[in-house]
């Protein structure tokens, strides 16, 4: 439709997008603390001249609305996450984080910038736009229920959203390629804590104790056997990431706590893992005269891309000259899944790997190839014009 013009505008604003992204990267903020980020996004959206800008929404979020001049049409929404991570940045770059112990290590600064770029492009092409476009900037994606907060605050209402899309930068995909397949793309995210309660005492007289460290160690080994004994090839991960117990070299503690995460796509596999965890923990603990208590939480379901929404992303990518590749389901989690309970949608991953592997998400040296910014902006704009 207007793909050549979209690419031309994207190229024209590329420098502005780099400046915006670097400013956001220098000033990262944790979930529900994105006050400066909220103000900056709000100011940019108002300067663009959107029909409506709501801020703050759902804590520290922002929602912008643009109405097409052609009339009719549907309402499409785009979502970008805003929060940073509690990581000390180790990159030696001019735009390095100025806040000690906080950095954008998952690309949310890029997601914000690409969505702002899409708003800039679509405002210029408003006469060619049918329906309405919502620009949703969401706080607290990193495990703090930011999506649910935005939905509760009405981000998908007035007007109601017919389709919702999102982009996520991906250091494991070649630069500029877009993965936009239907079906599962991000795993269900669960957490667990297992407290093993024994009987403490003197390390020299361990025969008088019920050693919770030894029991917890055997439970840990037992948990690893669950994956080995599951049928089929359904992807799953069981990771123990924290193991705490004891206060001194010569004291057997009364209890030990281990914490971890389970990632699945298949609900039957998920339920089997939960059942086996309880059986293994209780059985091993009882064998040694200890007790085990499991606190298991289902945090968020898997992200399952809608077929039509995925097709829209792929078609738009091809129309503006972006290569498409099959999606590889990632075992990471994404609270974008909560929007999909209210409207069909899809999340595409856009590659930032250029010639060599880049540090992965949540790494202290994570960074992006900034040439992706106008590409992502153009892709979102094309989706809005062809929905």
CATH number at residue 294: 3.30.70.360
Task: Give yes or no for a contact between 261 and 239, defined as CB atoms under 8 angstroms apart.
Answer: yes
Residue 138, burial from CB neighbour count under 10 angstroms (0-12, 13-18, 19+)? buried
What confidence tier does 2 reach under pLDDT thresholds 50, 70, 90?
Answer: low
| Together in a domain, 88 and 174 | yes
Q: Quote the mean pLDDT of the chain.
A: 95
Q: Which of 208, 293, 221, 218 is nearest to 257 (CA)?
A: 293
pLDDT(158) > 80: yes
Is residue 105 within a helix (H) or strand (E), and if so which, with residue range? none
DSSP one-letter code for 199:
B
pLDDT, tens only, 166-205: 999 999 999 999 999 999 999 999 999 999 999 999 999 9
| Together in a domain, 76 and 138 | yes
DSSP labels, 243-289 = EEE-SSTTEE-SEEEEEEEEEES-HHHHHHHHHHHHHHHHHHHHHTT
Query: What number of other Cβ atoms are within 10 A of residue 250's Cβ?
Result: 8
Report the pLDDT averaged over residues 133-158: 97
CA distance 183 to 327: 9
| Together in a domain, 30 and 93 | yes
Distance of CA 381 to the CA centre of its chain: 21
Query: What number of other Cβ atoms are within 10 A of residue 228's Cβ?
Result: 6
| Together in a domain, 126 and 194 | no
DSSP labels, 141-167 = TTTS-HHHHHHHTTTTTTTTPSEEEEE
User: Considering 255, 280, 299, which residue would you say is the last residue of a domain?
Assistant: 299
Task: Report the share of the chain in percent with pLDDT over 90.
Answer: 92
Report the pLDDT averaged over residues 308-318: 97
Maximum pairwise Cα distance, the chain: 83
pLDDT(387) > 90: no
Pairing of strands 75-81, 132-138: parallel
User: Which residue range forms the structural domain that includes residue 156?
Assistant: 3-182+303-386
């Amino acid at each position: 439709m207007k793909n050549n013009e979209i690419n031309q505008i994207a190229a024209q604003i590329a420098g502005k997008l780099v400046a915006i992204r670097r400013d956001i990267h220098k000033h990262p903020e944790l979930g529900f603390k994105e006050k400066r980020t909220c103000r900056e996004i709000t100011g940019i959206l108002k300067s663009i001249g959107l029909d409506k800008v709501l801020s703050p929404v759902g804590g520290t979020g922002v929602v912008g609305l643009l109405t097409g001049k052609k009339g009719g049409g549907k309402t499409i929404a785009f979502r970008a996450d805003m929060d940073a991570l509690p990581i000390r940045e180790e990159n030696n770059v001019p735009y390095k984080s100025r806040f000690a112990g906080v950095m954008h290590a998952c690309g949310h600064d890029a997601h914000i910038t690409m969505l702002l770029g899409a708003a800039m492009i679509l405002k210029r092409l408003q006469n060619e736009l049918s329906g309405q476009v919502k620009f949703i900037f969401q706080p607290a994606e990193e495990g703090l229920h930011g999506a649910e907060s935005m939905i509760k605050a009405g981000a998908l209402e007035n007007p109601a959203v017919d389709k919702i899309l999102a982009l996520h930068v991906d250091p494991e995909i070649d630069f500029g390629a877009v993965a936009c397949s239907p079906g599962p793309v991000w795993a269900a995210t669960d957490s667990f804590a297992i407290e093993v309660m024994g009987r403490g005492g003197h390390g020299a007289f361990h025969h008088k104790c019920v050693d919770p460290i030894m029991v917890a160690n055997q439970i840990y080994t037992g948990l690893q056997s669950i994956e080995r004994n599951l049928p089929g090839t359904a992807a799953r991960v069981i990771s123990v990431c924290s193991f705490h117990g004891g206060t001194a070299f010569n004291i057997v503690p009364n209890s030990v706590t281990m914490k971890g995460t389970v990632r699945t796509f298949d609900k039957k596999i998920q339920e089997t893992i939960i059942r086996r965890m309880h059986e293994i923990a209780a059985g091993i603990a009882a064998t040694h005269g200890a007790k085990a208590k499991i606190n298991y939480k289902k945090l968020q379901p898997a992200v399952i891309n809608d077929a039509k929404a995925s097709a829209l992303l792929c078609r738009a990518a091809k129309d503006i000259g972006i290569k498409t590749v099959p999606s590889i389901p990632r075992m990471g989690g994404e609270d974008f899944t909560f929007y999909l309970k209210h409207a069909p949608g899809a999340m595409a991953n856009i590659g930032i790997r250029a010639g060599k592997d880049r540090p992965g998400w949540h790494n202290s040296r994570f960074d992006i190839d900034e040439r992706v910014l106008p590409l992502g902006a153009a892709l979102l704009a094309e989706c809005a014009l062809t929905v």
